[in-house]
A = this chain, B = another copy of it.
Amino acid sequence: MALRRELKRATCAVTRQALSPHSSRRYAALASFPNEPTAPSVITSTVPGPVSIEASESIGSFQENRSHVLVGDYSKSIGNYLVDVDGNVLLDVYAQIASNAIGYNHPALIDLARSDEFITAAMNRPALGNFPPKIWKDLHTTGLLKVAPEGLSNLFTMMCGSCANEGAMKAAFIAYRARERKDALAFTSEDLSSCMKNAAPGSPDLSVMSFTSAFHGRLFGSLSLTRSKPIHKLDIPAFDWPAATFPKNQYPLDEHGEENAKAEAASLAEVESIITTRKQEGRPVAALIVEPIQSEGGDHHATPDFFRKLQTVLKKHGVFFIVDEVQTGFGATGKFWAYEHWDLPSPPDFLCFSKKAQAAGFFHSIDTRAAAPYRNFNTWMGDPIRSMQARTLINVIQENDLVSKTAQVGQILYDGLNGLSQISAGKGKINSLRGKGAGTFIAFDAASPAQRDGIIKGLKQRGVNAGGCGEMAVRLRPMLVFDRTHADIFLGTLEDTLKSL
């Protein structure tokens, strides 16, 4: 009850105040968490502190712990602030690798977790493809289907980002082969027997194309599309699937129009050339997958024009277009889906999501639903409680206009970083700033990989939890409840950190 009251208060606080980008004072007062700390607080001489280190080592007795950054105390974390087991309070602009949408312990989510509907669903997990629960349709009509990309009315739920991409890839392969047959279900006896031996034609030599420095997951199919770092791929067998060069653009995009247009044209030519060559070789490309902003691989952006032309090329050759919004989806770029920035004349074929959505899966059109059941199927096929969480997230985001707010805070953050890159603290240390107009989905390069690591370490020591990507980038992935106050704290802390290097 106390939490319900708190939620009500928070919601009122948000809706009472009209949002104006020109009124910084009113903007700064906008917060969803009345009890959120007002500033970070670091009480140990290093982060992680001794309690984190001990807890991490203890986990090391049964699993890998060298990737641990710190050990969290999630019962104490609130809003934008992650509290660790040492009692350090960190402003979190990494947000669980970009997977926390509206902050720690958001009262609307806590309320959800206490509901009978959630408890029943959590403890009676159905095999959704066979025995869906009574609530299944309504849960999605009031939730994920409200944010279905226009033209993509079908939803396939899965369990994580990699699975979501692989589910879409399977749907694309099935649809590609169905199109080649007169009757989608007219499998030949050779199809039926050869697939049991993993051989063509039943297991066809088709591929999904991705881009250099892409990241699409780490299962066997999705890892074959991932091209970000060798450490992800080494020693794991991969499909012989092609990659085109992602445009090597310069930033800000709009100030390098001519060079970037050339880079993007070269990339598109390569895409088309690979499609043509593979077709001639009898092993066609069935689909292409792309992140609207390449994230894990280093935060690489391309222009809306690039993506529009890419769609044209794919349509020309009958190649399905899969948009991987696992990291970009759910508002962080200042649009609910990042692909909305592109203004495509028609929707992509598949849009995949996970992370911030908490639920995972893909949207697609009825045209790519298989002609027979059980072709794309598994035991759980998603998770009702994660769909419930997605519904609550969508409602909180929409009621509080958090996507527009993120667009505005992103502008403030970008301008602040741009300013910082001009003064002595930032000069030569903040390079290739990118994400102008892309909400808070912002990154910059340090002068070297070592300096990048130094910046992230320095930020953490001063109470800000940030993450890296690519070779030497710092990526910002704050939550949608990150407002101007938090941006100010971040910028001040970054300036101090840069000065200390």
Question: How long is the Cα–Cα vector from A192 to B377 in the complex, in angstroms?
Answer: 35
A163 at the interface (CB under 8 A from B): yes
Within 8 A of B (CB), among A95-142: 96-97, 99-100, 104-106, 109-110, 112-114, 116, 118-127, 129-134, 136-137, 140
- B173 and A236 form a contact (CB under 8 A): yes
- A64 and B235 form a contact (CB under 8 A): no
- B75 and A237 form a contact (CB under 8 A): no
A345 at the interface (CB under 8 A from B): no
A458 at the interface (CB under 8 A from B): no
A274 at the interface (CB under 8 A from B): no
Tell me which residues across on chain B come within 8 A of A105, comparing CB atoms. 120, 123-124
Tell me which residues across on chain B come within 8 A of A193, comparing CB atoms. 230
Question: How long is the Cα–Cα vector from A218 to B72 in the complex, in angstroms?
Answer: 34
A221 at the interface (CB under 8 A from B): yes
A306 at the interface (CB under 8 A from B): no
A80 to B: closest C-beta gap in Å: 13
Q: Say whether, besides A123-B110, A219-B163, A219-B166, A132 and B238 are in contact (CB < 8 Å).
A: no
- B202 and A77 form a contact (CB under 8 A): no
Question: How long is the Cα–Cα vector from A104 to B64 in the complex, in angstroms?
Answer: 35
Q: Which of A204-212, A245-253, A333-341 contacts B (4 or more CB under 8 A)?
A: A204-212
Within 8 A of B (CB), among A219-259: 219-222, 224, 227, 230-241, 243
Stoichiometry, copies per complex: 2
- B123 and A109 form a contact (CB under 8 A): yes
A385 at the interface (CB under 8 A from B): yes
- B132 and A56 form a contact (CB under 8 A): yes
A370 at the interface (CB under 8 A from B): yes
- A132 and B68 form a contact (CB under 8 A): yes
Tell me which residues across on chain B come within 8 A of A389, comparing CB atoms. 122-123
Tell me which residues across on chain B come within 8 A of A156, comparing CB atoms. 63
- B224 and A198 form a contact (CB under 8 A): yes
- A67 and B358 form a contact (CB under 8 A): no
- B129 and A64 form a contact (CB under 8 A): yes
Tell me which residues across on chain B come within 8 A of A177, comparing CB atoms. 234-235
- B230 and A196 form a contact (CB under 8 A): yes
Tell me which residues across on chain B come within 8 A of A122, comparing CB atoms. 113, 118, 122, 385, 389
Question: How long is the Cα–Cα vector from A217 to B162 in the complex, in angstroms?
Answer: 14
A162 to B: closest C-beta gap in Å: 7
Scoring A residues 395 to 424 as 1 if CB is less than 8 Å from chain B, else 0, what string do you get? 000000000000000000000000000000
Question: How long is the Cα–Cα vector from A100 to B131 in the complex, in angstroms?
Answer: 13
A282 at the interface (CB under 8 A from B): no
Tell me which residues across on chain B come within 8 A of A106, comparing CB atoms. 123
Tell me which of A58, A61, A159, A238 has the highest count of chain B C-beta atoms within 10 A of its own C-beta: A238
Q: How many residues of A contact B (CB 8 A)?
A: 124
Question: How long is the Cα–Cα vector from A109 to B122 in the complex, in angstroms?
Answer: 9
Question: How long is the Cα–Cα vector from A373 to B177 in the complex, in angstroms?
Answer: 40
Contact of A124 among B77, B130, B170, B385 (CB under 8 A): B77
A170 to B: closest C-beta gap in Å: 6
Tell me which residues across on chain B come within 8 A of A192, comparing CB atoms. 230, 234
Tell me which residues across on chain B come within 8 A of A68, comparing CB atoms. 129-132
Tell me which residues across on chain B come within 8 A of A374, comparing CB atoms. 67, 231-232
- B233 and A203 form a contact (CB under 8 A): yes
A355 at the interface (CB under 8 A from B): yes
Question: How long is the Cα–Cα vector from A204 to B69 in the complex, in angstroms?
Answer: 31
A85 at the interface (CB under 8 A from B): yes
Question: How long is the Cα–Cα vector from A114 to B271 in the complex, in angstroms?
Answer: 52
A71 at the interface (CB under 8 A from B): yes
A489 at the interface (CB under 8 A from B): no
Q: Say whether, besides A62-B145, A203-B238, A373-B67, A99 and B380 are in contact (CB < 8 Å).
A: yes
Question: How long is the Cα–Cα vector from A133 to B58 in the complex, in angstroms?
Answer: 12
Contact of A233 among B75, B202, B238 (CB under 8 A): B202
Tell me which of A73, A231, A241 has the highest count of chain B C-beta atoms within 10 A of its own C-beta: A231
Tell me which residues across on chain B come within 8 A of A174, comparing CB atoms. 234-236
Contact of A131 among B72, B155, B222 (CB under 8 A): B72
Contact of A62 among B153, B173, B176 (CB under 8 A): B153
6 tightest A-B contacts by CB?
A220-B221, A66-B373, A198-B238, A203-B238, A177-B235, A74-B124
17 contacts between A and B (CB under 8 A): A67-B129, A68-B129, A68-B132, A74-B120, A113-B123, A122-B389, A162-B163, A177-B234, A197-B243, A198-B233, A198-B241, A205-B237, A217-B378, A218-B376, A231-B372, A232-B375, A354-B379
